[in-house]
Amino acid sequence: GLSSKLQEAFRKLRGKGQITEADLRSTMREIRLALLDADVNFTVVRDFVKKVQAKAKGENVLEGLNPGQQIIKIVDDELTEMMGGETTTLKKSNKIPTIIMMAGLQGAGKTTTVGKLAKMLKEDDNARPLMIAADVYRPAAIEQLQQIGKQIDVPVFEEGTEVNPVKIVEDGLKVAKENHNDYVFIDTAGRLQIDEKLMNELKEIKEVAKPTDILLVVDAMTGQNAVNMAEGFNEALDITGVVLTKLDGDTRGGAALSIKAVTGKPILFTGQGEKMDNLDVFHPDRMASRILGMGDVLSLVEKTKKNIDEKKSMELAEKMKENTFNFDDFLDQLQQIQNMGPLKNLMAMIPGMANNPALQNVDMDPKDLDRIKAIIYSMTNEERENPDVLNPSRRRRIAKGSAQPIQSVNRLIKQFNQMKKMMNQISNGNMSGMENMMQQ
């Protein structure tokens, strides 16, 4: 990938006392190829290389860095600059509500992102958002938003599929005012390609809603096309920022690097998965460091802090002591792990891990966690609290209820019992219990 190619380019410079003109030229060539290969826009690459070269040739030697490190620093700085420099946040309107309008092609992730953002504001700012369902072209779109609303406990305004979307937005805003919602999200329709009808509708919505921010949602998997889309939407709507979704997938990352340079509009957030928690604030400097393979310690710390609930950890320690650990606690633990997003993303943030081949094998399928949850959800309260009552007939019932094979139910209960035993032994200061567990 891009990271490993750039690191390879730098490896030759590292530790060199002196860097010749030829060294620099060959490094820049490698960087240029690596960026192009990652699908970064051609003109953006050209400008980037020019800037780095000019700076590298300049006399301003930084104290404490050797020439190789200097160049890495320059590249890091320029990558950061290319992605917008500072972190951009959502604006807050000085009178409520703050209105955030979404735009983007069908399937880009607008509806999902509305849910993720509403959840984030609710949790971090105690916000009371309202989500307006203004995609009337697909009946399922309204239902999708309603389901998300239920999941994150945020109200949805909708008027079915027969009313004009512009009218829906007007009506929704009235309701938001009556209910004193401080944030309104407008979920709009998309199409497979930019067309005039779509753009006109979005322009009209913009006209009546006067949104505080217009966020364009683009799918990172579409590479160069994501950048072209961003340009097209920006020309028509004068968007305020971009959400780059599906960065968890197998993308080459070029879109993240080109969007700001091409459109002049910053990326505010990135989507890292389908779950409501899989949204990250986009920090250009951290992204640059990540691309350069320096590891993103800051992001990792932030993520971990947010998701491991301290109070819950204390309660858990207490339960371990009292040996009352049950399936509800087990579920909590799973939830916390799941909230942290794909394990692979998390591991990649640890310095030195990004290019570790071992990482290729560390992929916990989120579906596995979902299956485990389904099994636990099929247990009665009594069974969750007191797993000892789980006799064969109860296990068969749970298997049926969760649509999982009986073997999976048995395996889960076995794992649970081992975990419980291990916890018990640890809390009694007997570490060999843990060793036994590892050997099983």
**Does residue 271 bind ligand GDP (CB under 6 A)?**
yes
- Binding residue per annotation — 439? no
245 binds, among ligand GDP, Mg ion, none (CB under 5 to 8 A by kind): ligand GDP
- Binding residue per annotation — 106? yes
Measure the CA–CA gap between 408 and 81, rounded to whole angstroms.
50
- Choose which of 3, 181, 245, 404 interacts with ligand GDP (CB under 6 A): 245
The DSSP output letter for 350 is S
108 binds, among ligand GDP, Mg ion, none (CB under 5 to 8 A by kind): ligand GDP
At closest approach, how far in Å is the CB of 215 from ligand GDP? 11
Q: How many CB atoms lie within 10 A of CB 36?
A: 15
CB 319 within 8 A of CB 330: no
Site for ligand GDP in 186-225 (CB under 6 A): 190, 217
- Binding residue per annotation — 161? no
Site for Mg ion in 221-280 (CB under 5 A): none
**Does residue 274 bind ligand GDP (CB under 6 A)?**
yes
Pairing mode, strands 279-281 and 183-188: unpaired
At closest approach, how far in Å is the CB of 102 from ligand GDP? 8
- Give residues with Cβ within 8 angstroms of 436, minimum separation 6: none
71 binds, among Mg ion, ligand GDP, none (CB under 5 to 8 A by kind): none
- Return the closest-CA partner of residue 221 out of 242, 246, 243, 241: 246
**Count, residues near ligand GDP per rule CB under 6 A:** 19
- Choose which of 2, 10, 110, 254 interacts with ligand GDP (CB under 6 A): 110
- Choose which of 27, 98, 111, 222 interacts with Mg ion (CB under 5 A): 111
Residue whose CB is less far from Mg ion, 186 or 398: 186
- Binding residue per annotation — 104? yes
Burial group, residue 139, by CB count within 10 angstroms (0-12, 13-18, 19+): exposed
- Binding residue per annotation — 245? yes
**Does residue 111 bind ligand GDP (CB under 6 A)?**
yes
- Binding residue per annotation — 110? yes
Q: What secondary structure does DSSP assign to 253-309, as a single string?
A: -HHHHHHHHHHS--EEEEE-SSSTT-EEE--HHHHHHHHTT---HHHHHHHHHHHS-
**Does residue 338 bind Mg ion (CB under 5 A)?**
no
- Binding residue per annotation — 189? yes
CB 71 within 8 A of CB 53: no
**Does residue 107 bind ligand GDP (CB under 6 A)?**
yes
Closest chain position to ligand GDP (CB):
271
Measure the CA–CA gap between 298 and 145, rounded to whole angstroms.
33
Residue 428 phi, psi dihedral angles, 5° rounding: -95, 10
- Return the closest-CA partner of residue 388 out of 323, 312, 318, 317: 323
What residue type is assigned to position 80 of the chain? T
- Choose which of 67, 84, 109, 172 interacts with ligand GDP (CB under 6 A): 109
- Return the closest-CA partner of residue 14 out of 73, 59, 58: 73
Which of the ranges 14-22, 223-231, 268-276, 358-366 carries the binding residues for ligand GDP, by CB under 6 A?
268-276
Sequence-ordered alpha helix ranges (H) in 58-138:
67-82, 110-125
- Choose which of 68, 254, 273, 433 interacts with ligand GDP (CB under 6 A): 273
- Return the closest-CA partner of residue 237 out of 364, 104, 126, 374: 104
The helix (H) or strand (E) run that includes residue 272 is none
Which residues contribute to the annotated binding site? 104-111, 187-191, 245-248
- The footprint of ligand GDP (CB under 6 A) covers 104, 106-112, 190, 217, 245-246, 248-249, 271-274, 278
Query: Which residues contribute to the annotated binding site for GTP?
Result: 104-111, 187-191, 245-248
Interacting residues toward Mg ion by CB under 5 A: 110-111, 141
